[in-house]
Structure 1
């Protein structure tokens, strides 16, 4: 099985205990949960039994210690996880509406995750090909953006499959145009691109959706995945496309659904030892992606039935019934 390195932010999700259409109408209480999209993906791979690594920086503080311990307990190798006293671990306050949908308020800049630099990438992490995964939250400022691009380049040099979940949080960006440009800058560097329908609409900027997807495919990715919550997942390559409908479940909290989906997918690809060449071959017969996508959908579906992020992610035994439904 290939190793999976998820790079980026690990932070604390302060999750509301209330459900409200307008959280400002009441006093909310919050409970800490480990979170951060790449950290969630690493935990998802680890809990499924994969060779999971998290690369990033947290504070040398109570929250940072908590994150290191939690990821390790989830089966993640934390040898690539650094701690610093120069900044605190980031916080994200998460309010939920009556259906379990989220809204975020980030306490992040400055924070420890933004201090990771190119020199922190150890050559020893890249001695064998694997899967390198990142999200857009490490593109929000110039220094961490350059670090991310350097990590991608180092991984590509050693034959890693590059996975990019756009996972766009507009309130982390000082200028929306910066977000647009930064995401497009990364697309030629990746093999696997995942985005939700809202992110695709944003990146289309009024252009025809299929034309934009074709443009993306011409730039580099072998496979593009477009998610739409419980409505289904569209998979697209230069050779064809299709869709997968996730199992029907009752949603409690959508906090880590996308990360569970990505983690399940990367676990399945790593188990099959899929690298850039193999993914390109699979893209020629897109239906060959279905087994991995079904595992990914089952992971996402299970996770929304639980509250929280890392603690809600499934082990393989938890999704067996969803795979047979």
Structure 2
């Protein structure tokens, strides 16, 4: 089974006890949950039986300690996490509406994860076959963007299978303006690309969606998966588009839904020992691809029925017992 490496931010989600629009006569409190999109994917894969490790920088503070402990508790290797006193671990205050949809208020920058540099990367980390997972939140300032794109270059040269989730958070960017060119550069390092429908609309600009997607495939992306909440997932590969309907569930907290989906899909690729070189051929079997997307949808559906991130991610037993 191919191991996973996830690089980027691990942070603490401070989840509100109160839904948006609810009566405000109850004092608002926040419960800390371990989170951060790439860290969530590392945990999702570990809980599904993959060998999984996380690369990133955390502060030498109580929240950094909390994240290291939670990652390790869920089976993720933490030996390559770096710690710093120069900045604190990032926080995200999360409020929800009645449908479980979230609003984030980030305490970043400054934050420790933005201080990771290429010098912190373990030597030879991509010498063996691996899956590398990345997100766009490690592009929000020049230095961490340079590090992230350099890691993607090194992994690509090492023939790693690269997974990218756009995971756009506009309020993490200066003046709430996403650098679309920078994000697109990361997307075009990917072999597997996951987008939400809203992210596709934001990134394509004035271009037709189908044309923009074809450009990504021409750049070397082998599989593009577009999620849209409870609506059907749209899957693009060379010469074919398929639609997969996710299970119907009542959402409580959508925080880890997309990350659970990605982890579920990557776990299946890892189990089949799919590589960057073989992903295109693997995708040509439509029955196999449809089954893999459906199982990934089950992972996402399971996660949104529970609060928090790491604790909401399914195990194999959870999926087997899911109605």
TM-score (structure 1 length as normaliser) = 0.95
Query: 2-side partners of 1:160 and 1:112: how far apart?
Result: 26
Aligned to 1:113: 113
Query: 2-side partners of 1:24 and 1:10: how far apart?
Result: 31
CA deviation after TM superposition for structure 1 residue 175, in Å: 4.7
Tell me the matched-pair count: 323
Aligned counterparts, 1:100-139, within 5 A? 100-139=100-139
Give the 3-state SS of the residue equivalent to 1:58 in structure 2: strand
- Cα distance change of structure 1 residues 215 and 24 upon mapping to structure 2, 3 Å threshold: farther
Query: 2-side partners of 1:33 and 1:177: how far apart?
Result: 27
* 8 Å Cα contact 2:170-2:177 kept in structure 1: no
The one-character-per-residue Cα deviations of 1:226-273 (angstroms, maximum 9, x if unpaired) are 001111211101120101111111111111100111111111111111
Query: 2-side partners of 1:103 and 1:142: how far apart?
Result: 26
The one-character-per-residue Cα deviations of 1:24-83 (angstroms, maximum 9, x if unpaired) are 897421010000000100000011111111111111111101101100110101112111
Query: 2-side partners of 1:225 and 1:151: how far apart?
Result: 23
Query: 2-side partners of 1:131 and 1:211: how far apart?
Result: 28
Query: 1-side partners of 2:235 and 2:178: how far apart?
Result: 27
Query: 1-side partners of 2:49 and 2:232: how far apart?
Result: 25
Aligned counterparts, 1:281-292, within 5 A? 281-292=281-292
Aligned to 1:248: 248
Aligned to 1:90: 90
- Cα distance change of structure 1 residues 6 and 316 upon mapping to structure 2, 3 Å threshold: same
Aligned to 1:227: 227
Aligned to 1:262: 262
CA deviation after TM superposition for structure 1 residue 303, in Å: 0.6
RMSD: 1.6
Query: 2-side partners of 1:84 and 1:24: how far apart?
Result: 39
* 8 Å Cα contact 1:239-1:284 kept in structure 2: no
- Cα distance change of structure 1 residues 149 and 22 upon mapping to structure 2, 3 Å threshold: farther
* 8 Å Cα contact 1:252-1:305 kept in structure 2: yes
Kindly indicate which of the two structures has a greater share of residues assigned to helix: 1
Give the 3-state SS of the residue equivalent to 1:255 in structure 2: coil
The one-character-per-residue Cα deviations of 1:202-236 (angstroms, maximum 9, x if unpaired) are 11213221111111111120110000111121110
Q: Which runs of 5+ in 2 are unaligned?
A: none
Q: Which runs of 5+ in 1 are unaligned?
A: none
Query: 2-side partners of 1:285 and 1:174: how far apart?
Result: 43
Aligned to 1:45: 45
* 8 Å Cα contact 1:23-1:95 kept in structure 2: no
Aligned to 2:318: 318
Query: 2-side partners of 1:23 and 1:78: how far apart?
Result: 41
CA deviation after TM superposition for structure 1 residue 286, in Å: 4.2
- Cα distance change of structure 1 residues 217 and 95 upon mapping to structure 2, 3 Å threshold: same
Aligned to 1:197: 197
- Cα distance change of structure 1 residues 112 and 224 upon mapping to structure 2, 3 Å threshold: same
* 8 Å Cα contact 2:166-2:187 kept in structure 1: no
CA deviation after TM superposition for structure 1 residue 176, in Å: 5.5
Aligned to 1:161: 161
Aligned to 2:271: 271
Query: 1-side partners of 2:252 and 2:22: how far apart?
Result: 18
* 8 Å Cα contact 1:299-1:319 kept in structure 2: yes
Aligned to 1:62: 62
